[in-house]
Amino acid sequence: MVSFASIQLPPPPHHQHHHHHTLVSAHLHQTTMYQPNRFKDFPRMSSISSNARPIHSGGSSLASVAPLEAILFDIDGTLCDSDPLHFYAFRDMLQEIGFNGGTPITEEFFIKNISGKHNEELREILLPDWEIQRSRKFLEDKEALFRRLASEQLQPMKGLQKLCKWIEDRGLRRAAVTNAPRSNAELLISMLGLSDFFEILVLASECDRVKPFPDPYLKALQELDISHKHAFVFEDSVSGIKAGMGAGMPVVGLGTRNPEQLLIEAGAVFVIADFDDPKLWTELEEMEIKAEATTTTK
């Protein structure tokens, strides 16, 4: 993992600022460089292993929330493998404005400093010397490029349809909770065919604080009228895991792109490769067994 402190990232040259709008416009009309095969070739940064030691040895890591009433989902990197598209958009647009001396950002830099963060936080990290409106416009243009790429190449997380059916069959409540802008969130949910699946969509930007603070997840629980004692979260980023934990819920990590150890250190109860992962279904089955046993003894 490349550390942020070890990378020299001079502020973008001011004389290049006025070029980025033209360059972004060109990107939106020229997507030939973003071929589906490049999307698939984006390396998996995690190291999911079936031999990984369980985080909790005393039964199911999700047993504490039985009987389960709700599941809350992050969107980017959780419902779909969208991080490669965010990476491509950031990499090329930052290079065009001379970020890091014009050297393209690496996947490691993206994972450590960009993935899962809100755009207002990214303004301070990536463009601290820019005027606020200019940096916000840059990030809006980046999101427009991302949506163009997503509309062409987005794929659901493996096993998502199976999990959604399991949730619907049990009548569980569900919410999507994201740091992403509304336009991104609604596009991804629609493209995944989940517009009718989610009862509510919570945008971090409409809360007092964004992830990694717990506010977005606390708002979701409040709107669902569900206790944190009977819900858990799916997240793929460190900031998301911290937010879910801060709201009092266990968080299952998606090791789609972020290294497994990073997610465990953030507090994930366990990490899965995708929604087909046998580890997840074993945990869900054990949780249901506990819920049935609890009901029987009452």
CA 62 to CA 244: how far, in whole Å? Answer: 14
Residues 6+ apart with CB under 8 A from 53: none
Q: Which DSSP string corresponds to 43-58?
A: PP-----TTPPPS--S
CA atoms within 13 A on the CB side of 214: 13
Task: Please state at what angle helix 83-96 crosses helix 20-29, rounded to 10 degrees.
Answer: 140
Respond yes or no: is residue 76 known to be catalytic. yes
CA 254 to CA 258: how far, in whole Å? Answer: 8
Respond yes or no: is residue 74 known to be catalytic. yes
CA 123 to CA 120: how far, in whole Å? Answer: 5
The gap from C-alpha 243 to its chain's centroid, in whole angstroms, comes to 12
One of 74, 83, 215, 277 is an active-site residue; which one?
A: 74
One of 41, 76, 169, 277 is an active-site residue; which one?
A: 76
- At which residue do the structure tokens 């993992």 appear? 1
CA distances 98 to 10, 109, 162, 165, 282, Å, are 9, 16, 44, 47, 49
Residues recognised as catalytic: 74, 76
